[in-house]
Structure 1
Amino acid sequence: MGIFNKIFSSSSEEKEEKVLPWIGLTSVAQLEDIEEKSKIKTQVIFKHSTRCGVSRMVLKQFVSAYDISETDLDLYFLDLLNYRDVSNETGYKFQVMHESPQLLVIKNGVVVAHASHGSINSIHLDEFVGS
């Protein structure tokens, strides 16, 4: 929060930040687990570049709009700068060209939807929940 916001806003104007049920995607081995779990429950991977303003903006919009229960899907967060090998392997494993930011929706072992940049917020995750 900037100095002017601190001076001119009251605490009642401050929004509480929404926290999503992120699971850190930090190892290549987790990709096998994601593939297996996707046969029972939808798996979602959000690939984020911590140095990219567009990625930061899209992530903020995604978090703001997110309204799916933890019981309906697993939500993975991949910091692709710190885990470049995991990011590369994600593309190979799920046959999706790397982009950043990027969202992958995985069901029954395959990517059923993916998008990058502003298109991420066009994906309606509730369509992929359930059978």
Structure 2
Amino acid sequence: MKKIDSVEEFTDILKTKQKFLLIKHSTTCPISKAAFNEYEAFVSENKGIPTFYLFVQDARPLSNYIAETFNIRHESPQALLFDQGIVTWNVSHWKITRKSLNEATS
């Protein structure tokens, strides 16, 4: 579980990690807080899966870059699973649960 803030950090991850999970989190939204709690619970049970997160307020250029580059509408909170450089799964808001994250990464 690592916080990222820049496009450069993200592109490095794309180059070095075949499969990883990314969470977009808004620090001012209660729905996002609940989703982030689910994400933290997932991470605590799944140490072998590379996971990253960004705070939308701190990393707006990165959040926009991901939305534009992968043609996925920006939402917050939002979970995206990347596999071999493409988004293979994404959900937002109340659909971000420990169970959905487990199912997506299994």
Corresponding position of 1:68: 46
| Alpha-carbon distance between aligned partners in 2 of 1:23 and 1:82, rounded to the nearest angstrom | 14
| Alpha-carbon distance between aligned partners in 1 of 2:40 and 2:92, rounded to the nearest angstrom | 15
- 1:73–1:61: structure 2 CA closer, same or farther, 3 Å change rule? closer
Whether 2:14 is the aligned partner of 1:35: answer yes
Aligned-residue Cα RMSD (Å) equals 1.8
Tell me which of the two structures has the higher relative contact order, counting C-alpha pairs closer than 8 angstroms and 6 or more residues apart. 2
Corresponding position of 2:90: 114
Which structure is larger by alpha-carbon Rg, 1 or 2? 1
Bigger fraction of residues in helix: 2
Unpaired stretches in structure 1, ≥5 consecutive residues? 1-21
Q: Which segment is superposed worse, 55-64 or 100-109? A: 55-64
Q: Within 5 A, what are the aligned runs for 1:49-128?
A: 49-66=26-43, 67-69=45-47, 72-121=48-97, 122-125=99-102, 127-128=104-105
| Alpha-carbon distance between aligned partners in 2 of 1:103 and 1:48, rounded to the nearest angstrom | 9
Shift of 1:126: 6.0
| Alpha-carbon distance between aligned partners in 1 of 2:71 and 2:17, rounded to the nearest angstrom | 16
SS at match of 2:27: coil
Instruction: Report sequence identity in percent.
Output: 25
Shift of 1:95: 2.2
SS at match of 1:123: helix
Corresponding position of 1:24: 3
Unpaired stretches in structure 2, ≥5 consecutive residues? none
